[in-house]
Chains A and B, each alone.
Chain A
């Protein structure tokens, strides 16, 4: 069965420093996708970055980058130059192909709460 593990319940970082949030996954499907979402205290789910299993390069989106190590089955999120507004819950998720095909369910990890200190 597919599974996402986030082993860091909480992390803190000084403003302007970089931080890495860990995510490991387990799947036997050769084709999969990995997502990171941010959930601020207001509660909405904000998409940050996506990595496909066949993508040759690590995904980057502004200050966010995904350190994708396929052999280790890890997809860590790196946030550079942290800002106070980055304080939030962060969820790693994996796409699971639906049994009927043609759609995707997401499997989420338990999340990591990031606190950025001034």
Chain B
């Protein structure tokens, strides 16, 4: 039973490029959460999605960031026109339909150069 799979583990982008981060939840989990961890800080909630629906995006920056969780395939966190301040570790977590109980992925480390 594979855990939460995130890829890539490391991603380097130049300023102005787009970054796409993928998350495949655990089998049987239909809820996905994205968190961001800036250097030397704790994780901060970004967005919560169910299949084909964004339920809570209260932690998402207003511009350049978007997330989706299509009917088929992984959840995608997309960052357009990246800037140096976007450099961080991005974690995905999934939970079962009850919404309770978390499993985190290993994270994607984004570096903007």
Contact = CB atoms under 8 A, between A and B. Distances in A.
Interface of A: 4, 35, 37, 43-45, 47, 91, 93, 98-100, 102-111
Interface size class of B (residues with CB under 8 A): 20 to 34
Nearest to A9: B40
B106 A43 contact: yes
20 contacts: A43-B106, A44-B107, A45-B43, A45-B91, A47-B102, A47-B104, A91-B42, A91-B43, A93-B43, A98-B48, A98-B55, A102-B98, A103-B99, A104-B95, A104-B99, A104-B100, A106-B43, A106-B102, A108-B44, A111-B42
Contacts of B103: 47
B33 interface: yes
B56 interface: yes
A104 B100 CA distance: 7
B72 to A, nearest CB: 22
Most B C-beta atoms less than 10 A away, residue of A35, A37, A103, A107: A103
Contact of A110 (B33, B42, B100): B42
Do most interface residues of chain B lie in helix, strand or loop, or is the interface mixed?
A: strand
A109 B46 CA distance: 16
Interface in B19-66: 31, 33, 35, 40-45, 48, 55-56, 58-59
Contacts of A102: 98-99
B113 to A, nearest CB: 19
